[in-house]
């Protein structure tokens, strides 16, 4: 694995890789790597890509200063995990290179209206502006044929697909399945901030998602079950909803077939999200 120090050598490496006839696969992350990130690297390797993994804790996607300040960082450990996972090139861009002059406002923002304004966009205003802007920049420097994202951030995948389509960006967005810990909790860099009792409460998300993934539900019954289970566990619920999987439009009583349950809670002051498939049976 090589580590590319600055934007110039990063771009050169990607250009040379493409010129050599190889496909560059981009895996954008914020570090504190875990099996979820490794699964994206694995997916890229399975396709034969030269895997370029970026680690950048992007301040523009944090609307909460405390969340940014507490975001876990461990570059030494990340290097080892990336190397073992088979990353070809590790890029750790500096804040100054990504957003010169930050915290002065950056003039250019990519805003994905609609998809970026709902769910996480409500509770975390500006979050998806930061995400779309950074992913656009990472793609412009790297020129990947494929970019890998986890379904853990289900809305993020939809926002990025919309951006890529609207701006005709020449990149395939590959969505990879959500990876869970042995107890069911969706892997997240933020999980290290949970107390044992907080973790127990947070597990109500994966438990109720497993429950609603079985059988076929009327949408309102499913919504009630999701919200009730989280509240009963003592979670502060940001949202618990059932949506059409690509547009994220709220499902209604006529919808049948495959839908997605989206959940967000706050536990121990940590915002956590999870999601899973659900089958709707429609009717009244
Ligand atoms: P992050 O470092 O949290 O910004 O995540 C970087 C990428 O890894 C995003 O595309 C995430 O969706 C993905 N990711 C994070 N956690 C998981 C997980 N538990 N399962 C699958 N992908 C994940």
pLDDT digits (tens, 9 = 90+) for 223-248: 999 999 999 999 999 999 999 999 99
User: Rounded mean pLDDT of 248-262?
Assistant: 97
User: Rounded mean pLDDT of 128-133?
Assistant: 98
Tell me which residue has its CA closest to atom 15 in ligand 1.
Answer: 36
pLDDT band at 93 (very low <50, low <70, confident <90, very high): very high
Is-catalytic flag, 37? yes
Q: Is the CB of residue 95 less than 8 Å from the CB of residue 59?
A: yes
Residue 175 is predicted with a pLDDT of: 98
Q: How far apart are CA 89 and CA 148, in angstroms?
A: 15
Query: b/e for 198-213, b at 16 or more Cβ within 10 A?
Result: bbebbbbbbebbebbe
Is the model's pLDDT at 283 over the cut of 80? no
Tell me which residue has its CA closest to atom 7 in ligand 1.
Answer: 29
Q: How far apart are CA 40 and CA 209, in angstroms?
A: 23
pLDDT band at 5 (very low <50, low <70, confident <90, very high): confident
Residue 284 Cα to ligand 1 middle (Å): 37
What are the pLDDT digits (tens) for 99-114?
A: 999 999 999 999 999 9
The ligand 1 atom nearest the CA atom of 179:
20
Residue 282 is predicted with a pLDDT of: 81
What are the pLDDT digits (tens) for 67-91?
A: 999 999 999 999 999 999 999 999 9
Instruction: Indicate whether residue 153 lines ligand 1 (CB < 6 A).
Output: yes
Q: How far apart are CA 251 and CA 284, in angstroms?
A: 14
What are the pLDDT digits (tens) for 31-48?
A: 999 999 999 999 999 999
Instruction: Indicate whether residue 57 lines ligand 1 (CB < 6 A).
Output: no
How many other C-beta atoms lie within 10 A of the C-beta of residue 19? 8
Q: How far apart are CA 81 and CA 33, in angstroms?
A: 7
pLDDT band at 164 (very low <50, low <70, confident <90, very high): very high
User: Rounded mean pLDDT of 200-211?
Assistant: 98
Q: Is the CB of residue 58 less than 8 Å from the CB of residue 127?
A: no
Percent of the chain predicted with pLDDT > 70? 100
Regarding pTM above 0.85, the answer is yes
Is the model's pLDDT at 61 over the cut of 80? yes
Q: Kindly tell me the burial class for residue 21, based on how many C-beta atoms sit within 10 Å of its own C-beta (0-12, 13-18, 19 or more).
A: exposed
pLDDT band at 121 (very low <50, low <70, confident <90, very high): very high
What are the pLDDT digits (tens) for 268-279?
A: 999 999 999 999
Catalytic residue, candidates 34, 37, 70, 111: 37
Mean pLDDT, rounded, of the chain: 97
Is the model's pLDDT at 284 over the cut of 70? no
């Amino acid at each position: 694995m090589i580590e590319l120090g600055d934007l110039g050598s990063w771009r050169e490496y990607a250009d040379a890789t493409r010129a050599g006839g190889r496909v560059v696969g981009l895996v954008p992350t914020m570090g504190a790597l875990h099996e979820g990130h490794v699964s994206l690297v694995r997916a890229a390797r399975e396709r034969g890509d030269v895997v370029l993994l970026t680690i950048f804790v992007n301040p523009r996607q944090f609307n909460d200063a405390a969340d940014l300040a507490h975001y876990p960082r461990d570059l030494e450990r990340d290097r080892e995990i990336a190397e073992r996972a088979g990353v070809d090139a590790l890029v750790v861009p500096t804040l100054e290179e990504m957003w010169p002059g930050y915290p002065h406002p950056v003039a250019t923002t990519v805003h994905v209206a609609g998809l970026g304004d709902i769910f996480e966009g409500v509770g975390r205003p500006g979050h998806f502006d930061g995400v779309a802007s950074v992913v656009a920049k990472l793609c412009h420097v790297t020129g990947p044929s494929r970019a890998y994202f986890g379904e853990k951030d289900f809305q993020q995948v939809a926002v990025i697909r919309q951006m890529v389509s609207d701006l005709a960006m020449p990149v395939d967005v590959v969505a990879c399945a959500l990876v869970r810990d042995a107890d069911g909790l969706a892997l997240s860099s933020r999980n290290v901030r949970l107390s044992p009792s907080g973790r127990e409460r947070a597990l109500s998300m994966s438990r109720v998602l497993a429950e609603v993934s079985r059988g076929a539900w009327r949408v309102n019954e499913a919504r009630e079950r999701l919200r009730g289970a989280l509240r009963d566990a003592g979670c502060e619920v940001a949202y618990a909803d059932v949506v059409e999987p690509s547009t994220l439009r709220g499902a209604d009583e006529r919808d049948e077939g495959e839908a997605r349950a989206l959940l967000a809670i706050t536990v121990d002051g940590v915002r956590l999200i999870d999601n899973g498939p659900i089958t709707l049976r429609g009717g009244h």
